[in-house]
Chain A
């Protein structure tokens, strides 16, 4: 079934080329691109259907040699969490393309072509299992984004683009050095075959790139401009989707491959994440415009997700994945709503807005529903995600959880301020009483996002129970009875039974000598396979 993964990557890339070259009238280009993005969702649903959550591990795998002398291959496949993130990608991209069709964009061939290419690149990032192939997709995202922000953005677009590109490229080029160092020292670039590394510098190369992309405080300098100057749907993609590639990178590479450096740098990263969470929330509360609020809330939410990731336990990981999907949908919905508001009022300044609820029930309902889910009222999916994250990070120290919980109160403040400034209060000077409610088409794009959020609120376990191989810690504990103590282990791959004795021996030795982690290499199907490194949680030995 591995072809399905490749189809998910290649279909939008080929679609991008097709809409660029297709001999159809310009007016049909947008709908054609939208259709392709819907077909993409269809293939994703098919992948969801084929994925065996009970089994866990890497599935729908496909592998093809690229260049053998350095052991680089085109290797793609899905883990549970990458499947959910890919789902987020295809849905958000479809919504963004749909919105662009409604809003109308100049030079449609280039625009929709690039949007589709971006889709393919993002799906590639979420599925690539070879470090170099993954890096290729990671960089490939930047090329369409550069033009999408730079050509179709607002007045300050050129400056915003430049800042965005310089930040991200500085990060990702340093990461290239890390990619080379990791791949060559492991003897393979394959993420499944390669073992773990203890090199701090290589780890930091990756972390800085992800921190810029996410963005984490203090690497967020590009964020306000890029989110404000892009067209609304590109902002939606940037904040809803592109930031999640950083989450994926943390999870799949930084945390899975560098257990010791993660341990060493946990506190500094948690500190930065917490600062980002509080600082972003405060800025969101002070932001003068609709998009500013969403942009800074994005910074805060990425801080929160990072807290969950670097809690490095089941709760944290599950919460981070759920919250990534939540935030992706919320952020996309809010940016598209911001776009809809801006189309009606020609401004996003909160001072000039107000009273838009009157006579516009659809807009009011959607914005309120999204906002309420975003501020994590109990029963909402964001509540579940944030709760899991805070419970997870609580195990690293109660202080993190306390600050995080306090910051969530701030989320309620800025979100309610936004809702009230746009929908309630007196009718703002920029609001024309005759400007219409959301049109049917706009609803068609926005409502599915909100409905998905409502669905996740009803059944969050859909994601939290199906992101990683079944109950990672338990799996380890039950498999290896001699191995007691709390373990943080990212079960990216089922442990082969052949390795069992080895793992048990290593675990006993590590406990005896007081090492905080150990790794095991063993042969599987005649191929050298490295089982992920196990790390004892600090203080639990």
Chain B
């Protein structure tokens, strides 16, 4: 739990830095650090594939941000507006962020109240892996081996045990249940590529 809160603190402080710093380069580097921290968080929670994807995406995003920041000439400090305007902007942004956080936490409390870790599952989950027995305590996966505990004879009746997701299970869902979503994502990337190329071209100069 300490590692989880440590990484959460690193992520939040990096994002706070990225939001309020005026220098674009430092803001982008802080965003990169936050992306790496989120990948580490995924690693702690057992999503290794997601962690690797997040690290790659964060690094590529940071590189592209730096490239475009230099291209657009934003590598210098931004000129500051009037103090009153900046204060109103800051206040509005903090209020909207506060409302957003409130609704996220409210929604999560309503969702979690209906599911309890003490519910008895009637069926074994499809991707249950009995190799490393893991159960949940206070929202964190606890390995029985590390805790020096032994399995009770009816673990499926007493605990909702989840194992780390194997990559093959991840792939099975992608090509079976979510195949249409995957195809739509591919189509989206194709359309984005064409649209971005059309949008970013230089305007034709009118011939005299």
Question: Is the A/B pair a real complex?
Answer: no
* A interface residues, Cβ below 8 angstroms from B: none
Identify the B interface with A (CB < 8 A).
Answer: none
